[in-house]
Amino acid sequence: MKIYDVVILGAGASGLMCASHLNKRLSVAMVDTNPKIAQKLKISGGGKCNITNVSVSEKNFDGDGEFISSVLDSFSKEDLLEFLDRNGIKPVVRKNRYYFCPHSSDEIIDLLRKKSRHVEMLLNSEAIGVEKKDDLFIVRAKKGEIKAKKLVVATGGKSFQNLGASDIGLKIAKDFGLKVREFSPALVGFTLQKDQFWMKSLSGLSCEVKIKVGEKTINEEMLFAHRGISGPAVLSASLYWQKGSLSIDFLPNEDILKLIKGSKKLISSVIPLPKRLSKEILKALEIKDMECKKVTPMIKSKLKSMHNYEFAPAGNFGFSKAEVSRGGVICSELNPQTMESWHVEGLFFTGEVIDVTGELGGYNFQWAFSSGVVCARGLLSVL
């Protein structure tokens, strides 16, 4: 049986970036459940893939800050943009923040495919388990056993199982005695408790809000959905929400007391939000719509809660809707210079399978790419 220098489990963003940076003299195989590579890259960012962000630091991630910044320093946002530029891709900036593929995610997928031409793609082959015998890794996959000197686990998180996602990475880590944090859904919408069911009636509407969750404040758009609330603000908030309450400012750029001052109009008419939304918020705050000039001090104080409407979500939409999975292999188990396990020689992890989760806005791909390159360099240093 052939013994590969490197076997990479998972032909997603991180595994492909790692493969692209490996030397052609090495024999490398990639194993993936899917019949095609890079399925998440393909559909992400509405098919245009939000690759990275104009501002990237360890503060944009949930995880071990020192570990994250070491990896990001080794292959930064600038390095990523330079790599893409060198290969003919000039990402465009949207909303002054987000870098997207100029036309389609296929541009970056084609680049990674081209750069991984030397790699044997073992697709349609789910990995089931791994053991190590006599310094060799033996991967048990649906299509048979594969042997490797070095093993890279790049199997991502558990979200979107219809795209091949699984928690095999955590199983492998645990089988080798590494510490892990179980996956939980993140960058996901919230379901609501009965008192907030009024929001469901607004399904389809969106507005700019400020959400405070724990120590974090997020200014972005929120979307009312039939199952609860979603949109960029909520997805980002979900990364920091641990059960308990959060608060929403529905008028982040206004002062409700100034808006109603001296006006003869109805309260709902001076609130600069869609009328349906203003009316539902007033109802939820138990305020009768009335002429602004008739507003009493007691009503004023109720109106102020439009700036900090506090409630506890019931839960979230689950793994099937979550863009990422929080949790993974604990950072302290890995060498941030190489992504190799400190305790199991030759075993590497990269991408979302590690306990590092980025905010919404291109951070998760940046992490997948940075850790993939660091892993490739780690492999090259020992092969």
Ligand X SMILES: Cc1cc2nc3c(=O)[nH]c(=O)nc-3n(C[C@H](O)[C@H](O)[C@H](O)COP(=O)(O)OP(=O)(O)OC[C@H]3O[C@@H](n4cnc5c(N)ncnc54)[C@H](O)[C@@H]3O)c2cc1C
Within residues 271-310, the interface with ligand X by CB under 6 A covers none
Q: Is 184 in the site for ligand X (CB under 6 A)?
A: no
Q: Is 363 in the site for ligand X (CB under 6 A)?
A: yes
CA dist., res. 33 & res. 122, Å (int): 9
Q: Is 146 in the site for ligand X (CB under 6 A)?
A: no
Query: Nearer to ligand X by C-beta: 154 or 334?
Result: 154
Contact between residue 356 and residue 169 where contact means Cβ atoms under 8 Å apart: no
Q: What is the dihedral of CA 192, 45, 351, 153, to 10 degrees?
A: 100
Contact between residue 351 and residue 195 where contact means Cβ atoms under 8 Å apart: no
Give the count of alpha carbons within 13 A of 333, CB side only. Answer: 24
User: Is residue 85 packed enough to be buried (19+ CB in 10 Å), middle (13-18) or exposed (0-12)?
Assistant: exposed
Query: Nearer to ligand X by C-beta: 250 or 363?
Result: 363
* Contacting residue, 60, 155, 236, 305, with ligand X by CB under 6 A: 155
Give the 3-state secondary structure of 285-348.
CCCCCCEHHHCCHHHHHHHHHHHCEEECCCEECCCCCCCEEEEEECHHHECCCCCEECCCCCEE
Q: Is 91 in the site for ligand X (CB under 6 A)?
A: no
Lookup: tokens for 124: 């349609």
Helix (H) and strand (E) counts for the chain?
A: 12, 21
Query: Nearer to ligand X by C-beta: 31 or 295?
Result: 31
* Contacting residue, 91, 232, 313, 362, with ligand X by CB under 6 A: 362
* Contacting residue, 156, 228, 313, 336, with ligand X by CB under 6 A: 156
5 to 34: interface string for ligand X, x by CB under 6 A: ----xxxxxxx---------------xxxx
* Contacting residue, 4, 20, 39, 234, with ligand X by CB under 6 A: 39
- Nearest distance in Å: CB 309, ligand X: 28
Output the DSSP codes for 5-42.
EEEEE--SHHHHHHHHTS-TTS-EEEE-SSSSS-HHHH
- Nearest distance in Å: CB 62, ligand X: 13
Kindly indicate which of the ranges 202-210, 272-280, 301-309, 346-354 contains the residues binding ligand X, using the contact rule CB under 6 A.
346-354
- Residues at the interface with ligand X (CB under 6 A): 9-15, 31-34, 39-40, 43-45, 49-50, 126-127, 154-156, 159-160, 164-166, 168, 323-324, 351-353, 362-365, 368
